[in-house]
Amino acid sequence: MKLVVLDRDGVINGWRPEGVASPDQWEAIPGSLEAIVRLNQAGYRVVVATNQSGIARGLFDLGDLHAVHRKLHSALDTLGGRVDAILYCPHRDGDECDCRKPKPGLLKNVAKRLGTELVDVPVVGDALRDMQAAMAVGARPFLVRTGKGERTLDENPALAQHVTVCNDLADVVDQLLEDTGS
């Protein structure tokens, strides 16, 4: 199975410190939706795995989160694309859950739901915690410079030696499709 796992905020849509609390705040990063469509056309399943601590912090509720995800699905549908699943962690940093990245629980849940291993599966994120979760399950981490990505690189310069750094999701997809000859 060809699979790619994406973080949401900062990879697909713009990043906000308080989280994307409503569909009005959700805005796709230029080229990101088209990149997902290209993955779909090349036979990849695309899954989103995202931390959403705004729920635990009371900044938005599950209804708001689902409304944002409906907007994402609708925008992709308009272009002929899709994400196969969206998994999220609603907890905050101190909640000691296993699903909040950098812990690998959310990614392990992706593997369990799809009945696959994540070894060498591309995992795309904009934060150190995304990279740490990817490495913990043996996935192939891609760090994008969008969202918090540039800051992540500035604060962790050695990270570039351990992950593939790309300008944005479209750049990641270019590399993946070139690597597979798709």
Rounded (10°) CA dihedral 53, 148, 46, 36: 130
Residue 9 appears among annotated catalytic residues? yes
Identify the bridge partners of residue 122 per DSSP, sorted by sequence position.
140
Q: Which residues in 39-67 are b (16+ Cβ under 10 Å) and which e?
A: bbeeebbbbbbbbbbbbbeeebeeebbeb
| 4 burial type by CB count under 10 A (0-12 exposed, 13-18 middle, 19+ buried) | buried
Rounded (10°) CA dihedral 88, 93, 94, 99: 30
Residue 24 appears among annotated catalytic residues? no
| Sheet-wide strand order for 140-144 | 85-89, 45-51, 3-6, 122-125, 140-144, 164-166
Which residue out of 9, 126, 130, 168 is catalytically annotated? 9
Report the distance separating Cα 80 and Cα 61, nearest Å: 29
Residues with active-site annotation: 7, 9
